[in-house]
Structure 1
Amino acid sequence: MRLSPAVRLSEYFMPTLKENPSEAEIASHRLMLRAGMVRQASAGIYSWLPMGFRVLKKIEQIVREEQDAAGANEVMMPTIQSADLWRKSGRYDDYGKEMLRITDRHDREMLYGPTNEELITDIFRDGARSYKDVPQMLYHIQWKFRDEVRPRFGVMRGREFYMKDGYSFDLTVEDGIKSYNKMFASYLRTYARMGLKVIPMRADTGPIGGENSHEFIILADTGESEVFCHSDFLGLDPLAEKTDYKADLQPIVDKWTAMYAATEEMHDQARFESEVPEDKRISARGIEVGHIFFFGDKYSAPLGAVVQTSDDKQVPVQMGSYGIGVSRLVGAIIEACHDENGIIWPEAVAPFKVGLINLRTGDDACDKACEDIFAKLQVMGVEVMYDDRSERAGVKFANMDLIGLPWQLVVGPKGLANGVVELKNRKSGEKQELPLDKALELVAG
């Protein structure tokens, strides 16, 4: 999908709100509604408006690029699945009321998929026969549904959500752990590219099953659960060293799991105090933005996903499952990146990189300068939103702070007379008066 690099705010659909919506309990829900990113269609189900959709697609693309780099192949699976598959795995009755069960016109029992372990195993079973067909990693990015008892917090805990699910298929447990490690390393890179500091934490496997599992957590005051970890995690940078997916990635996993990190469900206070110096202890709230599992033959055995070994034995493949909540990440990033004035987008996922503000729309000099800048930014490949509306300066500044674009380029009569424009960095709040060429050089860098 090609994202348009430039829009005029006078022609853009961005229905912002001045007041905080009464139903919004947390910052991301409040700011997404106020910034015109989403609108609720029904309880826990949202329409994504142009601004929100752009962010959603940027996050999706980063996820896709990192999955591809790790050697996973993208597929697309349906949202509606057969209940029979889930009965074979034993999960149809166990999953509970969160599963939306459906009967079609022929009285066949169906369900709106909350996850895809059964279906992907069935696909693999029909397409793989030999040890020569593994290892294999498949993933898809699709809408899913879980009928939450009380959907809340906007897209953070909705009923319908957009998610990347990946699955690995291997001949042996040892090979399965290698695939798990690939996804572990891939996830570290994925979140780092989004500008997030993520901490992998040993996790309960829940209804997915298996023994090996990690949650990937970002720290935020409004996080769902309390987390405990070593502060040195915040100084690690997954992008500082190249990840070679053909090599043994166990050292990377060991590096990121050597220090203490646990959610409240897995927390051991005595171990935390003995392993982490007092001045290095972090006790905070955290948001889960990804979850990976290695569960061996939990699904492959009952569903008959077996391959023939080199000595003619039939063995069930070893499987892992790897999830990233793409729509959830939009809210999670806002929770971690905002202030009292609005959102502060990391550049990699910002809907536009630059907000161009015309302080005096209708003034010939200002209009001409802004049109020239607007055109230059497009040629430079810089995504720009041009506020060309006939609004007061205060309204324009407030809107730009609210929607959180990384840079604000301000053009006014006084600045033009002095040969300068104002450049504001949204994250730091720093403002500079610069010649236009210098300002353009900075935002393009």
Structure 2
Amino acid sequence: MRLSRSLVPTLKETPAEAQIASHRLMLRAGLVRQTASGIYAWLPAGWRVLQNIAQIVREEQDASGAQEMLMPTIQSAELWRASGRYDAYGPEMLRLKDRHERELLYGPTNEEMITEIVRSSVKSYRELPQNLYHIQWKFRDEVRPRFGVMRGREFLMKDAYSFDLDYAGAVVSYRKMMLAYMRTFQRLGLKAIPMAADSGPIGGDLSHEFIILAPTGESQVFYDAAFEGIDYTGGQFSFDSEADLQRFHEMMTGSYAATDEKHDTAAWAKVAEKREGRGIEVGHIFYFGTKYSEPMGLTVAGPDGKPVVPHMGSYGIGVSRLVGAIIEASHDEAGIIWPDSVAPWQAVIVNLKPGDAACDSICEDLYAKFAGKALYDDRADRAGAKFADADLMGHPWQIVVGPRGAAAGNVELKRRATGERQELAVDAALARIL
């Protein structure tokens, strides 16, 4: 994209309503604009980040054996009455009626709908296990939306739902999803800690929330150093080996981790290598047995022909919340510092003198070779404004093309995360990035 022709409305001043770093920077970098309380439009740069995060989530869900589908945002109230949750869920649920006075709701989650889909489609134990997921918009009517996309009312979420014949199978599904989550967060450039958690309105008796470490996190976190240094993506654990999954699960749940709300000082005293920090919740997984399948009449024919009620779990990742969480974990006074895996563009090409033949030629050549993966700052603005926007927007690499260097066939390459600068030949700079 050429910046002169793009909708990337950066701001010099911080909007008064932005209270935390991610909200300030998302507004200033032109990622989002608020359209109503707790509801945001995602502008082109923000949408690219959201898509990159969703794609990593999708790839790890697929690798775990989960199947992608898409369920609607609007659900029937009758489904929720069948599970007993319609009246119990509370005012966070947005209830509405259509022109025929049928009661509907904007889904905050999809346990009821997926249970009904499986009830009408799966008839035999031979068709289990099943794990189905989608990446879809949700709505929860927060009483006090704040902190931008971190605590909004409309949000993009990945929610998956597992169906197994018995408890033992459900635990395997749970472990697969825990591993998929740790691999996902590592690919997003985040340090994540799984912590035993309350089930909340979802229900169930086995639950973990995933906290990513960020200096401005919402809660104090205490954890064992054993969580650091594990390469979840390096083939150490296999989705296809139950022994690997059990070993991984024991490692994750056997090391101490707690937020300030569940901190056990006696257990903490026994931890050899203590770590503390701040954390932000970005995911939650639950096993809840037959909490939904039984009241909604989901049964399958078991091996002996008798009806069996499948055991279920659900697994959520806040995709849009992750955008804010990544910024909270990775920014400085100048702006965002995107991890390479989620940045809207791999690099920004900064033309310091548009109209100069050598500068224009090098910039156009680089822009073509990036094939849509670089943003070209071709504006006629001052160099200082271009540098400030490049830092603010957080591009992993900045390729600065000025008249002196261009005459010699060189560019300046800056790594945003470290501030390191090098003068390189054009091809060497391109090779360094690609």
Same fold (TM over 0.5): yes
Residue identity opposite 1:368 in structure 2: S
Separation in structure 1 between the aligned mates of residue 208 and residue 120 of structure 2, nearest angstrom: 30
The answer (yes or no) to whether the contact 1:102–1:109 under 8 Å persists in 2 is yes
The answer (yes or no) to whether the contact 1:352–1:385 under 8 Å persists in 2 is yes
What's the % identity of the aligned pairs? 62
Residue identity opposite 1:224 in structure 2: E
Q: 1:256 aligns with which of 233, 252, 255?
A: 252
Separation in structure 2 between the aligned mates of residue 108 and residue 78 of structure 1, nearest angstrom: 16
Deviation (angstroms), 1:335:
0.5
Alignment pair present for 1:389 and 2:379:
yes
Alignment pair present for 1:370 and 2:363:
yes
Residue identity opposite 1:87 in structure 2: R
Separation in structure 2 between the aligned mates of residue 430 and residue 296 of structure 1, nearest angstrom: 53
Please list, as runs of the form range in 1=range in 2, the aligned pairs for 1:303-314 lying within 5 A after superposition.
303-314=296-307
Q: 2:344 aligns with which of 344, 347, 351?
A: 351
Which residue is 2:317 aligned to?
324
**Could you state the TM-score of these two structures normalised by the residue count of structure 1?**
0.95
Q: What secondary structure does 1:270 align onto?
A: helix
Q: Which runs of 5 or more structure 2 residues have no equivalent in the other structure?
A: none
Q: Choose 97-106 or 32-41, whichever is displaced more.
A: 97-106
Q: What secondary structure does 1:111 align onto?
A: strand
Q: Choose 186-195 or 416-425, whichever is displaced more.
A: 416-425
Please list, as runs of the form range in 1=range in 2, the aligned pairs for 1:398-437 lying within 5 A after superposition.
398-437=388-427
The answer (yes or no) to whether the contact 1:16–1:35 under 8 Å persists in 2 is yes
Q: Choose 208-217 or 237-246, whichever is displaced more.
A: 237-246
Alignment pair present for 1:439 and 2:429:
yes
Residue identity opposite 1:49 in structure 2: L
Q: 1:127 aligns with which of 108, 117, 121?
A: 121
Deviation (angstroms), 1:267:
2.0
Deviation (angstroms), 1:373:
1.8
The answer (yes or no) to whether the contact 2:410–2:426 under 8 Å persists in 1 is yes
The answer (yes or no) to whether the contact 2:193–2:210 under 8 Å persists in 1 is yes
1:218-242 alpha-carbon deviations (Å, 9 max, x no partner): 1112222222111332322212325
Q: What secondary structure does 1:292 align onto?
A: strand
The answer (yes or no) to whether the contact 1:37–1:51 under 8 Å persists in 2 is yes
Deviation (angstroms), 1:110:
1.1
Separation in structure 2 between the aligned mates of residue 214 and residue 263 of structure 1, nearest angstrom: 12
Which residue is 1:360 aligned to?
353
Please list, as runs of the form range in 1=range in 2, the aligned pairs for 1:18-417 lying within 5 A after superposition.
18-248=12-242, 249-274=245-270, 276-277=271-272, 280-378=273-371, 383-417=373-407
Q: What secondary structure does 1:302 align onto?
A: coil
Q: Choose 367-376 or 284-293, whichever is displaced more.
A: 367-376
Aligned residues: 432
Separation in structure 1 between the aligned mates of residue 408 and residue 123 of structure 2, nearest angstrom: 73
1:107-127 alpha-carbon deviations (Å, 9 max, x no partner): 211111000001111111111
Q: What secondary structure does 2:239 align onto?
A: coil
The answer (yes or no) to whether the contact 1:37–1:50 under 8 Å persists in 2 is yes
The CA RMSD over aligned residues, in Å, is 1.2
Separation in structure 2 between the aligned mates of residue 170 and residue 264 of structure 1, nearest angstrom: 34
Q: Choose 123-132 or 226-235, whichever is displaced more.
A: 226-235
Deviation (angstroms), 1:98:
0.4
Deviation (angstroms), 1:376:
2.5
Deviation (angstroms), 1:268:
1.2
Separation in structure 2 between the aligned mates of residue 318 and residue 163 of structure 1, nearest angstrom: 23
Q: What secondary structure does 1:312 align onto?
A: coil
Deviation (angstroms), 1:244:
2.3
Deviation (angstroms), 1:263:
2.0
Separation in structure 1 between the aligned mates of residue 101 and residue 22 of structure 2, nearest angstrom: 41
Deviation (angstroms), 1:257:
2.1
Deviation (angstroms), 1:258:
2.1
Separation in structure 1 between the aligned mates of residue 97 and residue 409 of structure 2, nearest angstrom: 69
Separation in structure 1 between the aligned mates of residue 422 and residue 367 of structure 2, nearest angstrom: 19
Q: What secondary structure does 1:422 align onto?
A: strand
Separation in structure 1 between the aligned mates of residue 237 and residue 275 of structure 2, nearest angstrom: 28
Separation in structure 1 between the aligned mates of residue 300 and residue 53 of structure 2, nearest angstrom: 36
**Could you state the TM-score of these two structures normalised by the residue count of structure 2?**
0.97
Deviation (angstroms), 1:106:
1.6
1:302-360 alpha-carbon deviations (Å, 9 max, x no partner): 00111111112212100000001111111111110101000000001000001101111
